[in-house]
């Protein structure tokens, strides 16, 4: 899944989108790239002359960022003030298009800095990040709350039917107007002052929250003294734990790093129940046990300030404010979807728990199933029920085969694009790789960066970002990147992936395709600059090719022998896809409901006791299962409290409803064909945010409304039944 940080696939500074918490980029305009004295020696202040304007990572130093930000912020503000201070009549060209052309230097600085603070940070970058967060917030407010600038936009908006604009330009005008209004452009000067203080505080808190998560994740790694405690752990993972301990100056011991999610991979194989308990409790306790990285008070404060801001802007709470600008549009629509999913998910999870408890009993265990037991015993049950051990898959999922013979192969079949690795381009870390992507007609399409390995300097999760966004206005082609956290094996050992990691690679490349295929005029609409609850849709569709027979047979080959995965093992893997979906859906829904609960308060209603409220919220929603904790607990819920998914974590399941309908369409229309790929590209992937997103879904599938039934069937939840739940889920009134 796309775990978005404050940058991820969206950058800080596309000011017209900030109000919607979609942090996007501003492409560069070559005609305005003049050498300035301040640019001397600072590669961030001049446009790169590398192919596709790729960043010069080999020249960029930590010391370049602060002076680059200082210069870029001043330059951008000067450009915007020049637009706002014009005395002639506002036109689309001298106001909106001029705004689209502004801020190019700042965009370049942000793109590089924002990615490195997520992918390869250090104390110097974290210090700059903390210093810049309130300054960037103030900069955004200086633009979005500029009364003279808004007056020009309002003038154009009032005359929008008379201007003779093409559809994309008219939609741009409508989006700018909405973004400014939602950002507070119509507030009084006194209220604008209050709003600026709130935005500054939130920027500081959210940055600090993200940094604390990374620091606590690293500090909470579980140290194991003896090799025998690791019984059951695959040898390559033991080797990785040995190396991690050595790197941490704990030679002779073993260190098990934690991922940002509640569940931890090692729990599926470790036979030592006491060690499993240690790992799970360490995971659950992160950022909530006192000490310098505790975020509990921060969570409550972020929620309160968001609530105060929503009320100031005229909304009852933060959730209503956020949802207004998404495809769902309102709380009622989201609640209807969650009500349709929660009862069958919980019922299936309870049934699965009973099956696991029975397995424990049969093996002579005299204990109740706990969260640290679930993965271990579900793996056993999977093997018993399907004569299938998931560890059997890993030898067939070597990273290079998965990427080139799976992810790239599917894209080649579907869209006709090809990939050539570029080892001549600089990267920011030795494991990062770069490919040039060529379109079906032989024309260059863009660059793709792959950063797949975990490291202490990298935040958890997986995400996509853009260094350069496509734009017809500037003639720019995209430079995009995917990031994962796959454990790196010791030197000389192959990287063998879990099936979850394989699926994630396909998923993230779906985001990359959304960026690479963008074909819009204005940077405001480029690539993944779409509503948050739509951005996951194309990427989740791309997951289908991971198990598409033609694709799977092409990449699932033994890393030593080259033999394809045996048909019997392949069939078992496909057959087992619905196994444990009650757990998977419930842990996700628990986090989703928790995110919603935190953001439906008025300012004076926000609870101060983070942990007590979390328990109450889960119980009230009917998802408080002791053995199924939420995928993220509040103190380390990065999506909600440091990323762009506040009141929006529902987006994954919302997008999966659209995804399941789209997969059904592909299956009914021939599957992996160029004709289908071209249709998907033309009607959806190339359109970015330049059209109504729900309209894009309808244009591709021909469906009036998305149907939840395919999702329930996919997850094996349909058998339980949901009395009174709707089948069609209307996506708001878009």
Distance, CA of 106 to CA of 142 (rounded, Å): 15
SS3 state at 621: helix
Distance, CA of 153 to CA of 172 (rounded, Å): 11
Q: Answer for the pair 588, 1: CB distance below 8 angstroms, yes or no.
A: no
Q: Which region holds residue 83: left if phi is over 0, alpha if psi is between -120 and 50, else beta?
A: alpha
SS3 state at 224: strand
Radius of gyration of the chain from its Cα atoms, rounded to whole angstroms: 25
Q: Answer for the pair 309, 606: CB distance below 8 angstroms, yes or no.
A: no
Distance, CA of 732 to CA of 322 (rounded, Å): 14
The residue annotated as part of the active site, out of 100, 237, 398, 508, is 508
Distance, CA of 387 to CA of 675 (rounded, Å): 39
Angle between helices 123-144 and 104-119 (to 10 degrees): 140
SS3 state at 544: helix
Q: From 107, 522, 536, 602, select the one nearest 326 (Cα to Cα).
A: 536
Distance, CA of 420 to CA of 412 (rounded, Å): 12
* Residue 625 β-bridge partners: 628
Q: Which two tokens stand for residue 308?
A: 């105060």
SS3 state at 316: coil
The torsion angles phi and psi of 458, rounded to 5 degrees, stand at -120, 135
User: Is 190 part of the annotated catalytic residue set?
Assistant: no
Distance, CA of 279 to CA of 257 (rounded, Å): 9
Distance, CA of 647 to CA of 358 (rounded, Å): 38
- Catalytic positions: 508
């Amino acid at each position: 899944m796309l775990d978005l940080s404050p940058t991820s696939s969206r950058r800080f500074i596309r000011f017209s989108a900030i109000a919607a918490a979609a942090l996007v980029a501003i492409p560069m305009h070559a005609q305005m790239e003049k050498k300035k004295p301040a640019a001397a020696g600072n590669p961030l202040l001049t446009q790169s002359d590398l192919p596709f304007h790729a960043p010069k990572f080999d020249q960029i130093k930590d010391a370049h960022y602060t002076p680059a930000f200082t210069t870029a912020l001043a330059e951008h503000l000067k450009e915007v003030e020049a637009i706002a201070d014009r005395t002639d009549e506002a036109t689309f060209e001298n106001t909106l298009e001029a705004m689209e052309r502004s801020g190019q230097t700042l965009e370049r600085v942000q793109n590089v800095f924002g990615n490195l603070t997520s992918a390869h940070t250090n104390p110097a970058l974290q210090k700059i990040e903390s210093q810049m967060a309130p300054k960037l917030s103030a900069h955004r407010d200086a633009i979005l709350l500029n009364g003279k600038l808004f007056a020009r936009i309002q003038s154009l908006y009032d005359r929008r039917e008379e201007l003779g604009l093409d559809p994309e330009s008219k939609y741009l005008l409508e989006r700018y107007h909405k973004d400014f209004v939602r950002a507070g452009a119509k507030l009084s000067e006194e209220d604008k002052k209050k709003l600026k203080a709130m935005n500054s505080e939130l920027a500081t808190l959210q940055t600090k929250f993200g940094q604390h998560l990374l620091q606590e994740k690293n500090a909470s790694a579980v140290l194991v003294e003896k090799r025998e405690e690791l019984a059951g752990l695959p040898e390559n993972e033991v080797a990785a734990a040995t190396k991690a301990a050595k790197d941490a100056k704990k030679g002779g011991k073993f260190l098990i790093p934690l991922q940002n999610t509640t569940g931890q991979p090692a729990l599926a194989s470790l036979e030592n129940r006491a060690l499993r308990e240690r790992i799970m409790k360490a995971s659950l306790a992160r950022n909530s046990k006192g000490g310098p990285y505790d975020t509990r008070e921060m969570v409550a404060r972020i929620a309160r300030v968001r609530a105060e801001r929503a009320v100031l802007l005229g909304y009852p709470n933060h959730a209503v404010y956020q949802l207004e600008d998404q495809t769902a549009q309102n709380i009622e629509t989201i609640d209807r979807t969650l009500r349709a999913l929660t009862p069958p998910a919980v019922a299936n999870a309870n049934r699965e728990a009973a099956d696991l408890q029975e397995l424990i009993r049969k093996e002579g265990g005299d204990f109740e199933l706990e969260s640290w037991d679930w993965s271990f015993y579900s793996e056993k049950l999977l093997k018993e029920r399907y004569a299938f051990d998931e560890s059997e898959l890993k030898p067939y999922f070597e990273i290079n085969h998965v990427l080139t013979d799976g992810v790239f192969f599917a894209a080649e079949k579907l869209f006709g694009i090809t990939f050539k690795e570029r080892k001549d381009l600089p990267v920011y870390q030795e494991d990062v790789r770069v490919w040039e992507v060529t379109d079906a007609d032989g024309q260059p399409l863009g660059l793709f960066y792959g950063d797949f390995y975990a490291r202490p300097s990298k935040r958890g999760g997986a995400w996509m970002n853009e260094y350069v966004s496509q734009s017809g206005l500037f003639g720019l082609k995209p430079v995009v990147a995917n990031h994962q956290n796959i454990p790196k094996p010791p030197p000389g050992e192959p990287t063998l992936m879990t099936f979850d990691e394989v699926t994630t690679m396909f998923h993230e490349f779906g985001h990359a395709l959304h960026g690479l295929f963008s074909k819009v005029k204005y940077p405001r609409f480029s690539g993944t600059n779409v509503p948050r609850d739509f951005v996951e849709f194309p990427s989740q569709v791309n997951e289908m090719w991971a198990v598409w027979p033609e694709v799977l047979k092409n990449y699932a080959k033994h890393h030593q022998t080259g033999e394809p995965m045996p048909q019997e093992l392949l069939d078992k893997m496909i057959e087992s896809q619905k196994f444990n979906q009650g757990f998977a859906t419930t842990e996700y829904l628990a986090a989703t409901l928790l995110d919603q609960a935190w953001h439906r308060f008025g300012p004076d209603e926000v609870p101060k006791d983070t942990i007590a409220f979390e328990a109450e919220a889960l119980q009230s929603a009917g998802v408080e299962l002791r053995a199924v904790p939420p995928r993220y607990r509040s103190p380390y819920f990065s999506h909600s409290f440091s990323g762009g998914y506040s009141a929006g974590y529902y987006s994954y399941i919302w997008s999966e409803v659209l995804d399941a309908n789209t997969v059904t369409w592909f299956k009914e229309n021939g599957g992996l064909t160029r004709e289908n790929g071209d249709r998907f590209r033309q009607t959806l992937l190339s359109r970015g945010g330049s059209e109504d997103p729900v309209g894009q879904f309808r244009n591709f599938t021909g469906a009036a409304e998305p149907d939840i039934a395919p999702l329930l069937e996919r997850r094996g939840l349909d058998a339980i039944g949901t009395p009174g739940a709707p089948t069609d889920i209307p996506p708001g009134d878009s």
